Structure 1
Amino acid sequence: MEENHQNTLNFERPPPEIHKRLILQSDFDEALKEPEGKSWVSFKSPGNPTVYGELKSNGLSGEGIPYVTGSAGFDVNKVTEKSIEIAYRVNETHIERKFLAPHKNFKNVHTKGKSIHCLDVSAGGLGVSSDSEGKLKIWETKNGEVRRLLEGHLGDVYTCRLFPSGIVVLSGGSDMMLKIWSAETGQCVATLTGHKASILDTSIIDRGRNIISCSKDGTSKLWDCGTQTCLSTYQCEAGIVNCCDIAAMWERFHLGQPDEPNSEREVGTTGKILILGCDNKTVKAFGIHSKKKIWDITDCIFDAVTCCKFISPVMFICGQQDGHMTCFDIRNPSKCVKSWCESRGPVLSLLNCKPGYISSHGDGSCHYMEHLFDTTVELTGPDCDPVYSVVDDGKYLYTACRDSIIRKYDMSDVLSIIEVFGF
């Protein structure tokens, strides 16, 4: 990247696109199993009154699947045990969507009435999550059985994730400490200190010898886990830094060179870019190895950036407090690819879920979008309770919610929509 990109990028703000939405009763799967069961459904479009309809069960098949019909222009294309495909066709309006109910609900991992702040899972069958009671727990993704209580943080834990090994946990929170834990023994094996305010998000570089954190103190830090030391601080000068993500760049993308030799403890940072989402409506990019700021984006962002995620090696999405999402291409960050709004609730998390991605929101909705940024699947279950995090283990999706429930969804049901609608 040329030197003249290492500054603030301003450009004409395009109007965001407000998507049309089908909205379905959160417990539709249970409601429609009842004799003559009913479920409400609605259609919302910008500038028009909401259209309300009803789905009605007309008995069960031999496999226990209900026969369902709709009213007021709502048609039912297909029903399975855990999903339903609905179309709304009136005049020139045509929208289709698949709604997916949880495969399992884990209600006993966390205490009823305690919000689940963050969540991660491994392909090896372990999950880690924290709640508003300050409890950080290890549990089995198969059945939700709690295996370990990780004790040591002094206050709320805002971020937790598993290292690629699947048996080591990284956490951070209001006590300004990062902690590294053995998931097998529950012991804290390292504590990293240096932030001056709450730690809100983390990213792991490669296998995890180095990690990134971001904080309310307006900084992001690069750490060496082995020596428990900070290798570098990225000064954001933007107040609170809410979120971070990293990606590897191709060779022609120049991230600069450090002014001084880096520590030999720094591993795997060459050619990687760090993006930071800030409370003051900006996204900042740094070369991790060079320690140099590449650019700021200060426009086409409508509110505080609450989450950011690379959805390809060159494209990332930032979610915002007012519900907007904006996609940028780092090869030309002075122009946004698209800006749109799926929900009135804040965007609370983003998950790269090839060939699309999933966003979770403050109104309890979770949207799967394919590469054209059109929602094709919605995860149901929460009744307007915020979904703070959505993660996957390659086979299942898991969500963390304010209602104290961890929900597990079958990813094959989500991705099958690609074949159904021909994407």
Structure 2
Amino acid sequence: MAIEAHPEFLIQSDWNDSLKDTGSKVWITLKERGKTGIHGSIIRATSNEDNLTATDGFKIISYQSNSLHVGHESTSQTAIFVGPAKAISGVHNKSVSTISINSLGHAVSASTDEKLVVWDTLTGKVKLDLKGHVGDVYKCRFFPSGEVVLSCGSDMRLMIWCAKTGVKAVTLTGHTMAVTDADFVDRGRNVISSSKDGTLRLWNCGDSSCLATLFEHSSGINCCTIFLPPAGFLTEEREGPISDKECGTKGKAVLVGCEDGTVHCIDLYSRKVKFSLSTPSCVNCVAAVEDGKFLVGCQDGSIHLYSLHMTEHPKRSWHTSNSAICSIYPYKEIGFFASRADGNITFKFYKISTVMLNLTGANADPVYDLDGNADILYSCSRDSIIRMHAPSKLISKIIGTTV
């Protein structure tokens, strides 16, 4: 399968604010991986919104206050830039590493000053300060109920908190190196965790016990995600006794991504490895998508789409930049968002290759994590600002105008 490496448009991070002023100018670049970029400017000479001009072969296709559609004479590709609907500062003062949103309008996020907080997405007001971790928190997630928080980090521990009171209810210990990621089994009676120690573990939240080491690997595990595979994919039966503390594992599988560039799929119930595959670079994130497919984001900037039923080669691969992929957020059956270490958040359409959608705001600061719902996406970055994006209507419009 050929790697898709289309030219990429980049723009000044505060373009949406700068172009509101008469006489303003922002930079824009067309970059193809491994080649010298084409640099130009977009200029607003008058107060008329329709009177934007561009230099060096760039062209303005359409412009509104928070979205800008541009092209270049050298390529059939175009890009739509979307500025943040809201930028939330003050929740954190240091780099924000992880964020999770629940259906009640609350968020939980963590920063590199050991701050883990629950806050209101409407007001930006901090509601709870969850104190207990020593060192960086790598992941925090709301339980499916939205009323409990799970966190893990460099102190080798997982912690479970009440999102209403801030009380730490459970601490899970046993990993011998940093805990990099975690996910929920069923509604959360059991959870799994991955670690730099190369193990994937299954935990019972009720009594803080480790029920099993599901998988062991020679290099660190960076990410894990539980998913429901298509019928017939999991056929192995369990060997040995089943603890009455284990709940909801049957019919589920786990994807793990590792430092050595490998991805492994484990049957959560039987503990058997269903397959292993190798990618060109360290795996930073994995995400399951529809129809038995999954996405892998790598340190070298590449993203790969695989099928569970044919893992020898990816169905598709994208590699438009050498900047590391930090997180992937699937969006319906249409495509996915990917955040990068250079501050860009791009949306890749599965069925459209001529239009790119870029969510802007971070000024070359890594965007470490994404979360949200069908309409709103939140991002967190090294610059300590949490940004809210509302791209769903624009995505629907693009789909509608290109089918």
Can you list the C-alpha shifts for 1:334-368, whole angstroms capped at 9, x where unaligned?
A: 22112221322111101111221110001111111
- Counterparts in 2 of 1:163 and 1:174: CA distance versus 1, 3 Å: same
Check 1:286–1:206 CA distance in 2 against 1; reply closer, same or farther (3 A cut).
same
AA in 2 matched with 1:340: W
Alignment correspondent of 2:102 = 122
Instruction: Give a deviation string over 1:359-392, Cα, whole Å, max 9, x none.
Output: 0001111111111474621010111110000111
Structure 2 residue identity aligned to 1:357: F
- Counterpart of 2:5 in structure 1 is 18
Q: Write the deviation string for residues 196-215 of structure 1: whole angstroms up to 9, x where unpaired.
A: 11100111123212211100
Alpha-carbon distance in 2 for matches of 1:46, 1:254: 40
1:339 and 2:317 matched: yes
Alignment of 1:123-142 (within 5 A): 123-142=103-122
> Which of residues 46, 55, 59 is equivalent to 2:42?
55
Structure 2 equivalent of residue 404 of structure 1: 384
Does 1:109 pair with 2:91?
yes
CA apart distance, 1:417:
4.3
Other-structure match for 1:218: 198
The 1:205–1:417 alpha-carbon spacing in structure 2 relative to 1, beyond 3 Å, is farther
Query: Aligned with 2:329: secondary structure?
Result: strand
Q: Report the Cα distance in structure 1 between the residues aligned to 2:203 and 2:116, rounded to whole angstroms.
A: 22
The answer as to whether partners of 2:215 and 2:271 remain within 8 angstroms in 1 is no
**Structure 2: gaps of 5 or more residues:** none
Contact 1:120 1:128 in 2 (8 A): yes
Matches within 5 A, 1:177-326: 177-298=157-278, 301-326=279-304
- Aligned residue for 1:310, secondary structure, equals strand
DSSP-derived class of the 2:73 partner: strand
Q: Distance in 2 between matches of 1:102 and 1:373?
A: 23
The secondary structure found in structure 1 opposite 2:379 is strand
Separation in 1, partners of 2:50, 2:165: 46
Q: Secondary structure at the match of 2:46?
A: strand
Contact 2:21/2:47 (CA < 8 Å) preserved in 1?
Answer: no
CA gap of 1:417–1:50, structure 2 versus 1, over 3 A, is farther
Match of 1:29, SS state, is helix
Query: Aligned-pair distance for 1:414?
Result: 4.5
Q: Which residue of 2 is the match for residue 72 of structure 1?
A: 56
Query: Are the equivalent residues in 1 in contact too, given 2:151–2:160 (CA < 8 A)?
Result: yes
Which amino acid letter does the alignment assign opposite residue 349 of structure 2? E
Contact 2:264 2:275 (C-alpha < 8 Å) held by counterparts: yes
Q: Could you tell me how far apart the structure 2 residues matched to 1:255 and 1:288 are?
A: 12
- Find the aligned partners of 1:52 and 1:154 in 2 and give their Cα distance: 45
Aligned to 1:366: 345
Please list every run of 5 or more consecutive structure 1 residues that lacks an aligned counterpart in the other structure. Answer: 1-13
> TM-score, normalised on structure 1?
0.91
Asked if 2 retains the 8 angstrom alpha-carbon contact of 1:255 and 1:273, the reply is no
Q: CA deviation at 1:400?
A: 0.7
Residue 15 of structure 1 and its aligned partner are, at CA, apart by 6.0
Structure 2 residue matching 1:72: 3-state secondary structure: coil
Structure 1 range deviating more: 183-192 or 251-260: 251-260
Return the alpha-carbon distance in structure 1 between the equivalents of residues 4 and 331 of structure 2.
22
Q: 1:419 to 1:339 in 2, by over 3 A?
A: closer
1:197-247: CA deviation from partner (whole Å, max 9, x where unpaired)? 110011112321221110011001111212221121123323100001121
1:86 aligns with 2:70: yes
SS at match of 1:275: strand
Does structure 1 conserve the Cα–Cα contact (< 8 Å) formed by 2:43 and 2:53? yes
Deviation at 1:397, TM superposition (A): 0.8
Q: Could you say what secondary structure the match of 1:242 adopts?
A: strand
2:27 is the counterpart of 1:40: yes
Match of 2:82 in 1: 100
Report the CA distance between 1:292 and its aligned residue: 0.9
Change (3 A) 1:361 1:376: same
SS of 1:418's equivalent in the other structure is helix
Question: Once superposed, what is the RMSD of the aligned Cα atoms?
Answer: 1.7
From 336, 353, 358, the counterpart of 1:357: 336
Note if 1:327 corresponds to 2:305.
yes
Amino acid at match of 1:143: T
TM-score, normalised with respect to structure 2: 0.95
Shift of 1:66: 6.0
Worse-superposed segment, 97-106 or 307-316: 307-316
For 1:391 and 1:230, the matched residues in 2 are separated by: 28
Q: Counterparts of 1:266 and 1:276 in 2: how far apart (Å)?
A: 20
Instruction: Name the amino acid aligned to 2:207.
Output: T
User: 2:209 & 2:92 partners in 1: Cα distance?
Assistant: 33
Contact 1:178 1:192 in 2 (8 A): yes
Letter in 1 for 2:129: L
